[in-house]
Amino acid sequence: MALPSVPQPRPSAEPRTRRAGALRDDPVRRWYERELGWPVRPGPGPGAALRLVTGVRFDVLQLPAEAGFAALRHLGPKAPVALHGGTMRLLMAAGSADELPGLLDWLEWGDIPLDLTAIGSGGLIDAPTPPGLPGSRGAAVWLRPPEPGHEVEAALPSLTTLAALAPRAAARALDGSGTDPHSGSAAGSDLVRLVDTAATQCHRVRLRRASNQPLAFS
């Protein structure tokens, strides 16, 4: 006579439910979702930092921290800036990551190796610890945190249209005005100034590391 089969025990849903409840009660998640309205994702494992979704409310310009601190000395205190280890992340308007390659070419940085990248649609970054909350060692932090209750997106560097900028610069060249396309007046855009300043400082850092001695210019 065949013995009756014993059903396998069903996996308990308690750990999953407990983790979902912990995420809802997480003050970091509450700050981003409720105070800023930014979408977040869980980290890759238990205890891992939450992730911010890029390409929805903002994109990210990423560069070495050494170059980033030098760039910030030339840029006004506007958009939020985060630091994670040796990497600085400057927030810019959503969609700006797609403009970076063409913008670097237009600014004549396209053929020069730079440690300058952009994270846009579909990307994730570790969520910096919100102001006033304790953070773990090595976690991302805000150097310039976003302000809840304010339109953060309005302060993010953006590009009106690169196509509108190029004819303007060409017209100046034809009429002999000779305006430098690297200048803010020719660019007419916070994003152009941000990218050009960041690229300049990235290039200087690469030169300094290659020569292993301070540069003669600041």
Which tens digits make up the pLDDT trace of 112-141? 999 999 999 999 999 999 999 988 888 999
Higher pLDDT, 16 or 207: 207
Q: Which one, of 21, 26, 51, lies nearest residue 38 by Cα?
A: 51
More confident residue, 218 or 93: 93
Other Cβ atoms within 10 Å of 153 Cβ, number: 14
Q: What is the pLDDT of residue 216?
A: 54
- Residue 104's pLDDT is 97
- Residue 122, number of CB atoms within 10 A of its CB: 9
Q: What is the pLDDT of residues 29-40, one digit of tens each?
A: 999 999 999 999
DSSP 8-class letter at 4: P
**pLDDT tens string 156-206:** 999 864 444 554 444 433 344 333 444 443 333 689 999 999 999 999 999
Tell me how crowded residue 55 is: count the other CB atoms within 10 A of its CB. Answer: 19
Domain ranges of the chain: 35-211
Query: What are the CA-CA distances from residue 139 to residues 144, 145, 217 (Å)?
Result: 15, 15, 33
- 63: part of which helix (H) or strand (E)? strand 59-64
Q: Is residue 102 pLDDT above 80, yes or no?
A: yes
Q: What is the mean pLDDT of the chain?
A: 80
pTM summary value: 0.75
Secondary structure, 3-state, 16-49: HHHHHHHHHHCHHHHHHHHHHCCCEECCCCCCCC
Give the separation between CA 84 and CA 125, rounded to whole angstroms.
10
Contact 107, 199 (CB under 8 A): yes
